[in-house]
Amino acid sequence: MPVSVATERKLREAMARLLAGEPLHTDGALTKENLAREAKVSHATVHRAEEVLAEWDARVARPVLRTPGEVQRDEVIADLRSRLREANTRVTELQGKLDALATVTANLYYENLELKKKDTTRRQGRVTALPASGPWPE
């Protein structure tokens, strides 16, 4: 079912604005979705307007799927993801070192306790009782 003359006119005007880089209702990306939004018609209506759609396909050889702002946003996101991956790798590495140090510290603590026990035991073993009467004067 073809579109009305008024709808075809709206689509052609919208196409002209998009191709000129002067959109009124969209971000300016050269997509069929934006053509529909710019003309304020449904996406299905665009596909029923076969002549306008053929002209669109001829004039927009390769549709630009992202606007410059979207490209910049995606580059920033990619950079931030890369930096996050590096930070996570560093955190994992440092956490491994921290865990190893905690293990060593715990082992040294328990070894220290054992050495203190042995030292206390040795000191107690060296003390001897002196005889009540001995060679010294009273």
Q: 3-state DSSP call for residue 22?
A: coil
pLDDT per position as a tens digit, 43-61: 899 989 999 988 988 888 7
Nearest 5°: the CA angle 24, 50, 57 is 65
Q: Is 6 exposed, middle or buried (0-12, 13-18, 19+ CB in 10 A)?
A: exposed
Q: How far apart are CA 36 and CA 43, in angstroms?
A: 5
Which residues of the chain are under the pLDDT cut of 70? Answer: 1, 62-65, 122-138
Verdict on whether the full-model pTM lies above 0.85:
no
Q: Tokens 């009305």 map to which residue?
A: 4
Q: What is the pLDDT of residue 70?
A: 83
Residues in the chain, total = 138
Share of the chain above pLDDT 90, in %: 49
